[in-house]
Amino acid sequence: MSLLTRLGGHRLFGGTPEAMWPVARPMVPLVMRFLVPSYGYGIDRMPAAGGAVLAANHFSAIDPALVGIYSRRCVYYMAKIELLSVPVFGEFLRWTGAFAVRRGEGDRDSIRVARWAARAGHVCGMFMEGTRQKFGYPGPVHPGAAMIAIQESVPVVPCGVDTFQWSLSNRRPCAVVMGEPIDLSGLPANGRGYKEGAHVVEEAIHRLWRQAAKAVADGFPEQLPDGTPRTPPPRRRELIRVDGEAWPREPWAAEPLGPVYPGPA
């Protein structure tokens, strides 16, 4: 446990991700405004209550923060363990709901946490390709997001981001487009159902990514061709705090993955 947590720094924000997020979240757009000119579309499509899986494509290190500032709800991100191990920064991410995944391994701990978050009424954020894509278009997706949504009977909110080649030395304009929630409850809770669900979500993400790329190319029009309005990041009064089940114990209290969360029922 790091020094900031030992000193009780997390309690300054309320002690739980849902309580800390509305306090910490308004600070992020101020930084992002300098780092990346951007707009969001369809941000009101995020369900106002209940569990959900936010599934997006992944191009740049800026993606989690960019998607996060356009979400009216706290997003419990599945993040690579190397990121959460960064002093201070990684600790702050844990305070606001991020939890670790070991990439390239069958990480049952991270899946249990993701299932718990969705079941407890929170939004679990996942980048479906598992890693950043290097060729300018979304890559093949993994079935994890669909699996969690099917097992926990929650919708998937697809999200397309256009951030390819963004970097600190190339602060190009970027866009986020959220889609309508997808109900996968009619699919079986087995490998075939997870694969079919992933395909449905993949198609939606690709469509939304194309819309995001066109919005950037067109200079951020006031609305997309389908009528979806352009919006800036939500203000603090527009944020939605969902008092679902709190973390069973503080998620920053143990290293490197956090606590032992409840497993599937």
pLDDT (0 to 100) of residue 257: 37
Specify the pTM.
0.85
59-83, pLDDT tens digit by residue?
A: 998 898 899 889 999 899 887 766 6
pLDDT at 198 exceeding the cut of 70: yes
pLDDT (0 to 100) of residue 107: 63
16-38, pLDDT tens digit by residue?
A: 777 777 777 777 777 888 889 99
87-125, pLDDT tens digit by residue?
A: 666 667 777 777 767 665 556 777 888 898 899 899 999
Question: Would you call the peptide bond into 256 cis, given omega within 30 degrees of 0 as the criterion?
Answer: yes
Query: Quick one: three-class SS letters along 189-250?
Result: CCHHHHHHHHHHHHHHHHHHHHHHHHHHHCCCCCECCCCCEEECCCCHHHCECCCCCCCCCC
Report the distance separating Cα 52 and Cα 77, nearest Å: 12
Residue 147, CB half-sphere, CA atoms under 13 Å: how many? 16
Distances in Å between the Cα of 128 and the Cα atoms of 43, 133, 160, 224 are 19, 11, 11, 24
Whether residue 154 contacts residue 18, with contact meaning beta carbons closer than 8 Å, is answered with no
123-151, pLDDT tens digit by residue?
A: 999 999 988 899 989 999 999 999 999 99
pLDDT at 221 exceeding the cut of 80: yes
- Report residue 76: phi and psi, to 5°: -90, 95
% helix / strand / coil in the chain, to the nearest 5? 35, 15, 45
Structural domain 37-79+107-238, CATH architecture: 3-Layer(aba) Sandwich (3.40)
247-259, pLDDT tens digit by residue?
A: 554 444 333 334 3
At 3, is the pLDDT very low, low, confident or very high (cuts 50, 70, 90)? low
Choice between 231 and 83, residue whose per-residue pLDDT is larger: 231
